[in-house]
Amino acid sequence: MGKFVKGIIAIALLAYSGLSGAQQVLDRVAVVVNDGIVLESEVEQLVQQVKRNLADSGTQLPSEKVLRIQAMDRLVLAELQYQIAKRMGIAISDPQLQQGITMIAQEQNMTLDQLREMLEQMGADWDSYRETIRKEMAIAEAQRASVRRRVFVSPQEIDNLVEAMNQMSEQEIEYRLGHILVGFRDGANADEVQATRERAEQLLERLRNGADFAQAAITASSGPRALEGGDLGWMNINAMPTLFADAVRGKNKGDLIGPLRSGVGFHILKVSDVRGIQQVEVNEVKARHILITPSIILSERKAQEKLIELRASILNGDISFAEAAREHSADTGSAALGGELGWAEPSVYAEEFRRQVERLPLNEISEPFQTQFGWHIVEVIDRRQLDATKRSQQNYAYQLLFARKYQEELENWQQELRDQAYIATLIE
Protein backbone atom coordinates (compact mmCIF):
# COMPACT_ATOMS: atom_id res chain seq x y z
CA MET A 1 0.00 0.00 0.00
CA GLY A 2 1.23 3.49 -0.68
CA LYS A 3 0.46 7.13 -0.20
CA PHE A 4 -3.12 7.04 -1.25
CA VAL A 5 -5.20 8.16 1.73
CA LYS A 6 -5.55 11.91 1.16
CA GLY A 7 -6.20 11.50 -2.53
CA ILE A 8 -8.74 8.77 -1.92
CA ILE A 9 -10.57 10.86 0.68
CA ALA A 10 -10.96 13.69 -1.80
CA ILE A 11 -12.03 11.44 -4.66
CA ALA A 12 -14.30 9.27 -2.57
CA LEU A 13 -16.11 12.18 -0.99
CA LEU A 14 -16.25 13.93 -4.36
CA ALA A 15 -17.83 10.84 -5.85
CA TYR A 16 -20.30 10.13 -3.07
CA SER A 17 -21.13 13.11 -0.89
CA GLY A 18 -24.50 14.68 -1.37
CA LEU A 19 -25.93 11.98 -3.64
CA SER A 20 -29.65 11.31 -3.58
CA GLY A 21 -30.73 7.75 -2.94
CA ALA A 22 -33.56 8.29 -5.37
CA GLN A 23 -31.27 9.48 -8.14
CA GLN A 24 -32.10 7.86 -11.45
CA VAL A 25 -29.25 5.67 -12.67
CA LEU A 26 -28.38 6.33 -16.30
CA ASP A 27 -26.59 3.68 -18.29
CA ARG A 28 -25.80 5.47 -21.53
CA VAL A 29 -22.18 5.29 -22.59
CA ALA A 30 -20.61 8.74 -22.52
CA VAL A 31 -17.06 7.89 -23.64
CA VAL A 32 -15.40 4.79 -25.04
CA VAL A 33 -11.87 4.48 -23.61
CA ASN A 34 -9.90 1.70 -25.33
CA ASP A 35 -11.86 -1.41 -24.27
CA GLY A 36 -13.56 0.39 -21.37
CA ILE A 37 -16.31 2.95 -20.98
CA VAL A 38 -17.34 5.99 -18.95
CA LEU A 39 -21.08 6.15 -18.23
CA GLU A 40 -23.17 9.29 -18.52
CA SER A 41 -24.37 8.74 -14.95
CA GLU A 42 -20.73 8.95 -13.76
CA VAL A 43 -20.24 12.23 -15.62
CA GLU A 44 -23.46 13.69 -14.24
CA GLN A 45 -22.60 12.58 -10.71
CA LEU A 46 -19.19 14.27 -10.85
CA VAL A 47 -20.59 17.45 -12.42
CA GLN A 48 -23.23 17.79 -9.72
CA GLN A 49 -20.71 17.33 -6.92
CA VAL A 50 -18.30 19.87 -8.44
CA LYS A 51 -21.21 22.32 -8.63
CA ARG A 52 -21.94 21.81 -4.93
CA ASN A 53 -18.29 22.24 -4.00
CA LEU A 54 -17.94 25.42 -6.04
CA ALA A 55 -21.16 26.82 -4.62
CA ASP A 56 -19.92 26.15 -1.09
CA SER A 57 -16.64 27.96 -1.84
CA GLY A 58 -18.35 30.91 -3.49
CA THR A 59 -16.66 30.34 -6.86
CA GLN A 60 -18.70 31.38 -9.88
CA LEU A 61 -19.84 28.40 -11.90
CA PRO A 62 -18.60 27.99 -15.48
CA SER A 63 -20.96 26.73 -18.14
CA GLU A 64 -22.51 23.28 -17.97
CA LYS A 65 -20.62 22.29 -21.13
CA VAL A 66 -17.24 23.21 -19.64
CA LEU A 67 -17.98 21.28 -16.45
CA ARG A 68 -19.00 18.21 -18.41
CA ILE A 69 -15.84 18.34 -20.54
CA GLN A 70 -13.65 18.60 -17.44
CA ALA A 71 -15.56 15.83 -15.68
CA MET A 72 -15.27 13.53 -18.69
CA ASP A 73 -11.54 14.27 -18.93
CA ARG A 74 -11.01 13.30 -15.29
CA LEU A 75 -13.07 10.14 -15.61
CA VAL A 76 -11.31 9.15 -18.84
CA LEU A 77 -7.93 9.56 -17.16
CA ALA A 78 -9.09 7.46 -14.21
CA GLU A 79 -10.32 4.74 -16.57
CA LEU A 80 -7.03 4.72 -18.49
CA GLN A 81 -5.04 4.35 -15.29
CA TYR A 82 -7.36 1.62 -14.02
CA GLN A 83 -6.87 -0.28 -17.25
CA ILE A 84 -3.11 -0.13 -16.66
CA ALA A 85 -3.64 -1.40 -13.11
CA LYS A 86 -5.64 -4.40 -14.37
CA ARG A 87 -3.06 -5.09 -17.08
CA MET A 88 -0.35 -5.13 -14.41
CA GLY A 89 -2.34 -7.63 -12.37
CA ILE A 90 -2.86 -5.23 -9.47
CA ALA A 91 -5.64 -6.50 -7.23
CA ILE A 92 -6.58 -4.94 -3.90
CA SER A 93 -7.51 -7.67 -1.42
CA ASP A 94 -10.36 -7.30 1.05
CA PRO A 95 -7.94 -6.90 4.00
CA GLN A 96 -6.04 -4.16 2.12
CA LEU A 97 -9.33 -2.48 1.28
CA GLN A 98 -10.40 -2.64 4.91
CA GLN A 99 -7.14 -1.02 5.99
CA GLY A 100 -7.60 1.72 3.41
CA ILE A 101 -11.15 2.53 4.48
CA THR A 102 -10.08 2.46 8.13
CA MET A 103 -7.41 5.06 7.33
CA ILE A 104 -10.00 7.21 5.55
CA ALA A 105 -12.22 7.11 8.63
CA GLN A 106 -9.28 8.00 10.88
CA GLU A 107 -8.35 10.94 8.65
CA GLN A 108 -11.92 12.18 9.09
CA ASN A 109 -11.75 11.57 12.88
CA MET A 110 -14.46 8.94 12.58
CA THR A 111 -14.95 5.27 13.28
CA LEU A 112 -15.81 2.96 10.41
CA ASP A 113 -19.43 2.85 11.56
CA GLN A 114 -19.59 6.65 11.66
CA LEU A 115 -18.12 6.93 8.16
CA ARG A 116 -20.62 4.41 6.84
CA GLU A 117 -23.51 6.20 8.54
CA MET A 118 -22.40 9.56 7.12
CA LEU A 119 -22.19 8.21 3.57
CA GLU A 120 -25.51 6.41 3.79
CA GLN A 121 -27.17 9.60 5.07
CA MET A 122 -25.79 11.30 1.94
CA GLY A 123 -27.42 8.62 -0.18
CA ALA A 124 -24.31 6.57 -0.98
CA ASP A 125 -24.39 2.81 -1.28
CA TRP A 126 -21.74 1.32 1.04
CA ASP A 127 -20.81 -1.56 -1.28
CA SER A 128 -20.39 0.81 -4.22
CA TYR A 129 -18.30 3.11 -2.06
CA ARG A 130 -16.01 0.22 -1.12
CA GLU A 131 -15.51 -0.68 -4.78
CA THR A 132 -14.70 2.94 -5.60
CA ILE A 133 -12.01 2.92 -2.93
CA ARG A 134 -10.70 -0.42 -4.23
CA LYS A 135 -10.42 1.08 -7.72
CA GLU A 136 -8.65 4.23 -6.48
CA MET A 137 -6.18 2.14 -4.49
CA ALA A 138 -5.42 0.08 -7.59
CA ILE A 139 -4.89 3.26 -9.62
CA ALA A 140 -2.53 4.62 -6.96
CA GLU A 141 -0.51 1.38 -7.06
CA ALA A 142 -0.34 1.54 -10.86
CA GLN A 143 0.87 5.13 -10.71
CA ARG A 144 3.63 4.26 -8.29
CA ALA A 145 4.71 1.17 -10.22
CA SER A 146 4.78 3.03 -13.53
CA VAL A 147 6.23 6.36 -12.43
CA ARG A 148 8.75 5.52 -9.70
CA ARG A 149 11.03 3.70 -12.15
CA ARG A 150 11.15 6.82 -14.31
CA VAL A 151 12.54 8.94 -11.46
CA PHE A 152 16.25 9.06 -10.70
CA VAL A 153 17.83 11.34 -8.11
CA SER A 154 21.62 11.45 -8.24
CA PRO A 155 23.87 11.91 -5.18
CA GLN A 156 25.21 15.09 -6.78
CA GLU A 157 21.71 16.55 -7.01
CA ILE A 158 21.16 15.78 -3.33
CA ASP A 159 24.47 17.39 -2.30
CA ASN A 160 23.75 20.46 -4.43
CA LEU A 161 20.31 20.89 -2.88
CA VAL A 162 21.62 20.45 0.67
CA GLU A 163 24.22 23.12 0.01
CA ALA A 164 21.64 25.41 -1.49
CA MET A 165 19.28 24.93 1.46
CA ASN A 166 22.08 25.75 3.87
CA GLN A 167 22.89 28.97 2.02
CA MET A 168 19.38 30.19 1.34
CA SER A 169 16.42 31.05 3.49
CA GLU A 170 13.86 30.12 0.86
CA GLN A 171 13.17 26.76 2.45
CA GLU A 172 11.58 28.75 5.29
CA ILE A 173 8.91 30.11 2.94
CA GLU A 174 5.96 28.24 1.49
CA TYR A 175 3.84 29.33 -1.44
CA ARG A 176 0.26 28.35 -2.16
CA LEU A 177 0.01 28.14 -5.93
CA GLY A 178 -2.84 28.20 -8.38
CA HIS A 179 -2.12 26.44 -11.66
CA ILE A 180 -3.57 26.49 -15.17
CA LEU A 181 -2.20 24.28 -17.94
CA VAL A 182 -3.05 25.16 -21.51
CA GLY A 183 -1.92 21.92 -23.07
CA PHE A 184 -0.96 20.76 -26.52
CA ARG A 185 -0.87 17.21 -27.84
CA ASP A 186 2.26 15.09 -27.90
CA GLY A 187 4.10 15.69 -31.19
CA ALA A 188 2.38 19.02 -31.85
CA ASN A 189 3.90 20.98 -34.73
CA ALA A 190 5.24 24.53 -34.48
CA ASP A 191 1.96 26.11 -35.59
CA GLU A 192 -0.03 24.21 -32.96
CA VAL A 193 2.45 25.14 -30.24
CA GLN A 194 2.29 28.80 -31.26
CA ALA A 195 -1.51 28.74 -31.27
CA THR A 196 -1.46 27.24 -27.78
CA ARG A 197 0.98 29.93 -26.61
CA GLU A 198 -1.34 32.63 -27.92
CA ARG A 199 -4.32 31.13 -26.08
CA ALA A 200 -2.28 31.04 -22.88
CA GLU A 201 -1.19 34.66 -23.29
CA GLN A 202 -4.77 35.76 -23.93
CA LEU A 203 -5.92 33.91 -20.82
CA LEU A 204 -3.14 35.48 -18.75
CA GLU A 205 -4.19 38.91 -19.96
CA ARG A 206 -7.79 38.26 -18.86
CA LEU A 207 -6.51 37.19 -15.45
CA ARG A 208 -4.48 40.38 -15.14
CA ASN A 209 -7.63 42.31 -15.97
CA GLY A 210 -9.45 40.75 -13.02
CA ALA A 211 -10.83 37.42 -14.26
CA ASP A 212 -11.33 34.85 -11.49
CA PHE A 213 -8.41 32.41 -11.44
CA ALA A 214 -10.32 29.44 -10.01
CA GLN A 215 -13.09 29.77 -12.57
CA ALA A 216 -10.53 30.13 -15.37
CA ALA A 217 -8.80 26.96 -14.20
CA ILE A 218 -12.06 25.01 -14.20
CA THR A 219 -12.95 26.38 -17.62
CA ALA A 220 -9.63 26.27 -19.48
CA SER A 221 -7.04 24.17 -17.65
CA SER A 222 -6.07 20.64 -18.64
CA GLY A 223 -4.02 20.31 -15.44
CA PRO A 224 -4.76 17.59 -12.84
CA ARG A 225 -6.27 20.06 -10.33
CA ALA A 226 -8.52 21.92 -12.77
CA LEU A 227 -11.76 20.97 -11.00
CA GLU A 228 -10.30 22.24 -7.71
CA GLY A 229 -9.78 25.66 -9.28
CA GLY A 230 -6.14 24.83 -10.04
CA ASP A 231 -5.15 24.83 -6.36
CA LEU A 232 -1.82 23.00 -5.89
CA GLY A 233 -1.70 23.55 -2.13
CA TRP A 234 1.28 24.67 -0.06
CA MET A 235 4.86 23.90 -1.10
CA ASN A 236 8.26 25.49 -0.81
CA ILE A 237 10.65 26.31 -3.63
CA ASN A 238 12.51 23.02 -3.34
CA ALA A 239 9.37 20.90 -3.62
CA MET A 240 8.11 22.58 -6.80
CA PRO A 241 8.83 21.43 -10.33
CA THR A 242 12.02 23.17 -11.44
CA LEU A 243 10.13 25.15 -14.07
CA PHE A 244 7.84 26.60 -11.39
CA ALA A 245 10.55 27.14 -8.77
CA ASP A 246 12.69 29.36 -11.00
CA ALA A 247 9.67 31.50 -11.83
CA VAL A 248 8.09 31.68 -8.35
CA ARG A 249 11.27 32.56 -6.41
CA GLY A 250 10.86 35.98 -4.82
CA LYS A 251 7.26 36.50 -5.95
CA ASN A 252 4.57 37.95 -3.68
CA LYS A 253 0.98 37.09 -2.86
CA GLY A 254 -1.29 37.77 -5.82
CA ASP A 255 1.44 37.67 -8.49
CA LEU A 256 0.62 36.02 -11.81
CA ILE A 257 3.36 34.12 -13.61
CA GLY A 258 3.65 32.76 -17.14
CA PRO A 259 3.08 31.44 -19.62
CA LEU A 260 5.81 28.87 -18.86
CA ARG A 261 6.40 26.23 -21.51
CA SER A 262 6.94 22.56 -20.63
CA GLY A 263 6.70 19.35 -22.60
CA VAL A 264 2.93 19.19 -22.18
CA GLY A 265 1.88 22.81 -22.72
CA PHE A 266 2.00 26.32 -21.27
CA HIS A 267 1.56 26.91 -17.53
CA ILE A 268 0.08 29.92 -15.77
CA LEU A 269 0.67 30.27 -12.02
CA LYS A 270 -0.80 32.48 -9.34
CA VAL A 271 0.79 32.97 -5.93
CA SER A 272 -2.38 32.68 -3.87
CA ASP A 273 -0.60 33.10 -0.53
CA VAL A 274 2.83 33.02 1.13
CA ARG A 275 3.81 31.86 4.63
CA GLY A 276 6.88 30.93 6.65
CA ILE A 277 7.52 27.35 7.71
CA GLN A 278 9.22 25.88 10.71
CA GLN A 279 12.58 24.20 10.59
CA VAL A 280 12.37 20.50 9.83
CA GLU A 281 12.83 18.23 12.84
CA VAL A 282 13.89 14.59 12.80
CA ASN A 283 11.67 12.13 14.65
CA GLU A 284 12.70 8.51 15.12
CA VAL A 285 10.93 5.46 16.51
CA LYS A 286 12.29 2.30 18.07
CA ALA A 287 10.01 -0.57 17.10
CA ARG A 288 9.82 -4.33 16.92
CA HIS A 289 7.65 -6.51 14.73
CA ILE A 290 6.68 -10.01 13.73
CA LEU A 291 6.25 -10.81 10.03
CA ILE A 292 4.26 -13.74 8.67
CA THR A 293 4.68 -14.23 4.92
CA PRO A 294 1.83 -15.91 2.99
CA SER A 295 2.82 -18.78 0.69
CA ILE A 296 1.32 -21.56 -1.38
CA ILE A 297 0.57 -23.50 1.80
CA LEU A 298 -0.27 -20.48 3.98
CA SER A 299 -3.06 -18.27 2.66
CA GLU A 300 -3.48 -14.57 3.37
CA ARG A 301 -6.32 -15.36 5.77
CA LYS A 302 -4.32 -18.00 7.61
CA ALA A 303 -1.34 -15.64 7.92
CA GLN A 304 -3.59 -12.99 9.44
CA GLU A 305 -5.21 -15.52 11.80
CA LYS A 306 -1.80 -16.76 12.94
CA LEU A 307 -0.83 -13.22 13.94
CA ILE A 308 -4.14 -12.72 15.74
CA GLU A 309 -3.36 -15.82 17.81
CA LEU A 310 0.24 -14.73 18.47
CA ARG A 311 -0.89 -11.27 19.56
CA ALA A 312 -3.43 -12.77 21.96
CA SER A 313 -0.77 -15.08 23.41
CA ILE A 314 1.61 -12.14 23.96
CA LEU A 315 -1.08 -10.02 25.60
CA ASN A 316 -2.09 -12.93 27.83
CA GLY A 317 1.50 -13.41 28.94
CA ASP A 318 1.78 -16.90 27.47
CA ILE A 319 4.82 -15.89 25.43
CA SER A 320 6.94 -12.74 25.21
CA PHE A 321 7.07 -10.61 22.07
CA ALA A 322 10.78 -11.41 21.67
CA GLU A 323 10.21 -15.15 21.97
CA ALA A 324 7.33 -15.04 19.48
CA ALA A 325 9.46 -13.07 17.01
CA ARG A 326 12.41 -15.45 17.28
CA GLU A 327 10.16 -18.47 16.80
CA HIS A 328 7.71 -17.26 14.15
CA SER A 329 8.87 -14.10 12.32
CA ALA A 330 9.82 -14.45 8.65
CA ASP A 331 12.11 -11.39 8.95
CA THR A 332 15.18 -13.36 9.90
CA GLY A 333 17.33 -10.29 10.53
CA SER A 334 15.08 -8.80 13.19
CA ALA A 335 13.81 -12.17 14.45
CA ALA A 336 17.24 -12.96 15.88
CA LEU A 337 16.95 -9.70 17.85
CA GLY A 338 13.50 -10.47 19.22
CA GLY A 339 11.86 -8.55 16.38
CA GLU A 340 13.68 -5.29 17.15
CA LEU A 341 14.29 -2.94 14.23
CA GLY A 342 16.36 -0.36 16.09
CA TRP A 343 16.00 3.40 15.78
CA ALA A 344 14.76 4.69 12.43
CA GLU A 345 12.76 7.46 10.84
CA PRO A 346 9.25 6.19 10.03
CA SER A 347 9.66 7.26 6.40
CA VAL A 348 12.11 4.41 5.74
CA TYR A 349 9.34 1.83 6.21
CA ALA A 350 6.65 0.64 3.81
CA GLU A 351 3.69 3.01 3.78
CA GLU A 352 1.25 1.06 5.95
CA PHE A 353 4.07 0.14 8.37
CA ARG A 354 5.00 3.82 8.59
CA ARG A 355 1.44 4.82 9.43
CA GLN A 356 1.26 2.20 12.15
CA VAL A 357 4.50 3.24 13.92
CA GLU A 358 3.56 6.92 13.66
CA ARG A 359 0.14 6.43 15.23
CA LEU A 360 0.61 3.64 17.77
CA PRO A 361 0.85 4.58 21.45
CA LEU A 362 4.03 3.41 23.14
CA ASN A 363 4.12 -0.24 24.22
CA GLU A 364 0.87 -1.09 22.43
CA ILE A 365 0.83 -3.99 19.97
CA SER A 366 -0.99 -3.27 16.72
CA GLU A 367 -3.69 -5.40 15.18
CA PRO A 368 -2.39 -7.45 12.23
CA PHE A 369 -1.91 -5.37 9.08
CA GLN A 370 -0.61 -6.04 5.60
CA THR A 371 2.22 -4.59 3.49
CA GLN A 372 3.80 -5.84 0.30
CA PHE A 373 6.07 -8.02 2.46
CA GLY A 374 3.29 -9.92 4.22
CA TRP A 375 1.34 -9.61 7.48
CA HIS A 376 2.77 -7.82 10.54
CA ILE A 377 2.14 -6.91 14.11
CA VAL A 378 4.30 -4.09 15.46
CA GLU A 379 5.03 -2.47 18.81
CA VAL A 380 6.62 0.97 19.28
CA ILE A 381 9.03 0.75 22.20
CA ASP A 382 10.24 4.37 22.26
CA ARG A 383 10.29 7.67 20.37
CA ARG A 384 12.87 10.45 20.21
CA GLN A 385 13.46 13.76 18.47
CA LEU A 386 16.88 14.62 17.09
CA ASP A 387 18.52 17.78 15.88
CA ALA A 388 18.95 18.06 12.11
CA THR A 389 22.00 16.17 10.91
CA LYS A 390 23.68 15.86 7.56
CA ARG A 391 21.93 12.53 7.06
CA SER A 392 18.51 13.99 7.77
CA GLN A 393 19.23 16.94 5.48
CA GLN A 394 20.17 14.52 2.72
CA ASN A 395 17.00 12.48 3.32
CA TYR A 396 14.92 15.63 3.24
CA ALA A 397 16.64 16.81 0.05
CA TYR A 398 16.03 13.43 -1.57
CA GLN A 399 12.35 13.52 -0.65
CA LEU A 400 11.97 17.02 -2.10
CA LEU A 401 13.78 16.10 -5.32
CA PHE A 402 11.89 12.85 -5.67
CA ALA A 403 8.52 14.55 -5.08
CA ARG A 404 9.35 17.19 -7.69
CA LYS A 405 10.47 14.69 -10.31
CA TYR A 406 7.68 12.24 -9.48
CA GLN A 407 5.01 14.88 -10.11
CA GLU A 408 6.62 15.87 -13.40
CA GLU A 409 6.88 12.26 -14.55
CA LEU A 410 3.33 11.48 -13.37
CA GLU A 411 1.96 14.25 -15.58
CA ASN A 412 4.09 13.06 -18.51
CA TRP A 413 2.93 9.46 -18.00
CA GLN A 414 -0.72 10.49 -17.82
CA GLN A 415 -0.33 12.55 -21.00
CA GLU A 416 1.24 9.56 -22.74
CA LEU A 417 -1.72 7.41 -21.72
CA ARG A 418 -4.09 9.94 -23.28
CA ASP A 419 -2.04 10.24 -26.48
CA GLN A 420 -1.82 6.47 -26.97
CA ALA A 421 -5.45 5.69 -26.12
CA TYR A 422 -8.52 5.27 -28.29
CA ILE A 423 -11.04 7.75 -26.90
CA ALA A 424 -14.45 8.30 -28.52
CA THR A 425 -16.94 10.73 -26.97
CA LEU A 426 -20.53 9.69 -27.66
CA ILE A 427 -22.40 12.50 -25.91
CA GLU A 428 -22.08 16.26 -25.76
Summarised one tens digit per residue, pLDDT across range 275-329 is 875 455 678 899 999 999 988 888 888 999 999 999 999 999 999 999 999 999 9
Of residues 260 and 388, the one with the higher pLDDT is 260
Is the model's pLDDT at 378 over the cut of 90?
Answer: yes
Is the model's pLDDT at 169 over the cut of 80?
Answer: no
Percent of the chain at pLDDT exceeding 90: 55
Mean pLDDT estimate for the chain: 86
Is the model's pLDDT at 264 over the cut of 70?
Answer: yes
CATH classification code of 170-279+408-415: 3.10.50.40
Of residues 241 and 381, the one with the higher pLDDT is 381
Is the model's pLDDT at 2 over the cut of 50?
Answer: no
- Does the domain at residues 5-150 carry the CATH identifier 2.40.50.840? no
Residue 24: pLDDT band by 50, 70, 90 thresholds? very low
Residue 20: pLDDT band by 50, 70, 90 thresholds? very low
pLDDT, residue 26, reads 45
Tell me the pLDDT tens digit for each residue of 177-191: 999 999 998 888 999
Of residues 264 and 9, the one with the higher pLDDT is 264
CATH classification code of 282-386: 3.10.50.40
* C-alpha atoms less than 13 angstroms from C-alpha of 185 in its C-beta half-sphere: 9
3-state secondary structure 98-155: HHHHHHHHHHCCCCHHHHHHHHHHCCCCHHHHHHHHHHHHHHHHHHHHHHHHHCCCCH
Buried b / exposed e along 41-67 (16+ C-beta atoms within 10 A):
ebbbbbbbbbeebbeeeebeebeeeeb
pLDDT, residue 8, reads 40
Highest mean pLDDT among 4-18, 95-109, 331-345: 331-345
Is the model's pLDDT at 23 over the cut of 80?
Answer: no
pLDDT, residue 280, reads 54
The predicted model gives 334-361 an average pLDDT of 92
Of residues 122 and 355, the one with the higher pLDDT is 355
Residue 107: pLDDT band by 50, 70, 90 thresholds? confident
Is the model's pLDDT at 5 over the cut of 60?
Answer: no
Lowest mean pLDDT among 5-14, 31-40, 333-342: 5-14
pLDDT, residue 52, reads 84
Lowest mean pLDDT among 3-7, 65-69, 111-115, 373-377: 3-7
Instruction: Give domain limits for the chain.
Output: 5-150, 170-279+408-415, 282-386
Percent of the chain at pLDDT exceeding 70: 90
Buried b / exposed e along 276-299 (16+ C-beta atoms within 10 A):
eeeeeebebbbbbbbbbebeeeee
Same fold, 170-279+408-415 and 282-386: yes
